[in-house]
Amino acid sequence: MAKKQFALNTQPHEAEIGDAVYLFEPEVLGDDFLDRYERLQEANRRLNIDPANMADADLSKVREATVAMRVFLASLMLPESAHEFARWDVIAGGKTVSSHTSPEEAAEAAAKRKGATVKDAGRRYPDRVLVELMEWVVELYGGGGNRPPTSSSGSAPVSPPPGRRGRAASPSRASTSTRGR
């Protein structure tokens, strides 16, 4: 009879960005992760943005894609971290009357109050940081390769370049055969 033990992560994963530390869920079930990731992919498809050609993209669509990425990342964080990272406040009479996890939810709440506005109250980061965080999270929960450590003191493996690597021999190998020499 064979026996195998499986470990579950119980400590939150940490992402350190500048002076902030964000805690991510220790484990996320595969289908939960895929559902959240699919919502992000749907937003990007709807916006029809080509990541390889951002120079020609409509800036309002780029902003919307960045918000979708922030909402996705926050959905994998523990509540306190998510509240700091991605939050939209409804302001009425100069005071915050409610906070929401997406701008759509905040807009709905603001529409119910006369004169209310929505303020992006989450922490803002450069796109390159968001992209790196996104790659780390996909590696972490998507099940690919070695999982990054739960502490931010270790570093995640370097992300592969975009595109799929083929299994064919490289042209340089094919053209430099040494057979018969």
Question: Domain for residue 161, yes or no?
Answer: no
pLDDT at 149 over 50: no
- Structurally, how many domains does the chain consist of? 2
Nearest partner of 96 among 86, 104, 87, 84, judged by Cα: 87
- Mean model confidence pLDDT for the chain: 80
Q: Which of 70, 99, 121 is the last residue of a domain?
A: 121
Instruction: Give the mean model confidence (pLDDT) for residues 14-18.
Output: 95
pLDDT at 128 over 80: yes
What is the per-residue pLDDT across 64-95, written as a single tens digit (0 to 9) for each? 889 999 999 999 999 999 999 999 999 999 99
- Which residue reads 């592969």 in tokens? 160
- Exposed/middle/buried for residue 39 (C-beta within 10 Å: 0-12, 13-18, 19+): middle
The boundaries of the domain holding residue 92 are 87-121
Helix (H, G, I), strand (E, B) or coil at 141: helix
Up-side HSE of residue 60: CA atoms within 13 Å toward CB?
1
Residue 54's pLDDT is: 64
This model's pTM is above 0.75: no
Same domain, 24 and 57: yes
Structure tokens at 162: 């975009």
Residue 171's pLDDT is: 40
Same domain, 24 and 102: no
Same domain, 20 and 58: yes
Question: Domain for residue 175, yes or no?
Answer: no
pLDDT at 168 over 60: no
Q: What percent of the chain has pLDDT over 90?
A: 50
pLDDT at 143 over 90: no
- d(CA 104, CA 68) in angstroms, rounded, equals 11
Residue 112's pLDDT is: 94
Same domain, 131 and 69: yes
> Do residues 133 and 15 lie in contact, with contact meaning Cβ atoms separated by under 8 Å?
yes
- Which residue reads 């509540």 in tokens? 79
Same domain, 34 and 114: no
Instruction: Give the mean model confidence (pLDDT) for residues 86-113.
Output: 95
Nearest partner of 66 among 158, 134, 121, 15, judged by Cα: 134
Q: Which of 106, 121, 136 is the last residue of a domain?
A: 121
pLDDT at 166 over 60: no
Same domain, 141 and 91: no
Degrees to nearest 5, angle at CA 90 with 88 and 93: 150
Residue 164's pLDDT is: 43
CA dihedral in degrees (172, 175, 180, 181; nearest 10)?
-60
Q: State the pLDDT confidence band at 144, using cuts at 50, 70 and 90.
A: low
- Whole-angstrom CA distances from 13 to 50, 115, 139, 156, 160 are 30, 40, 12, 12, 21
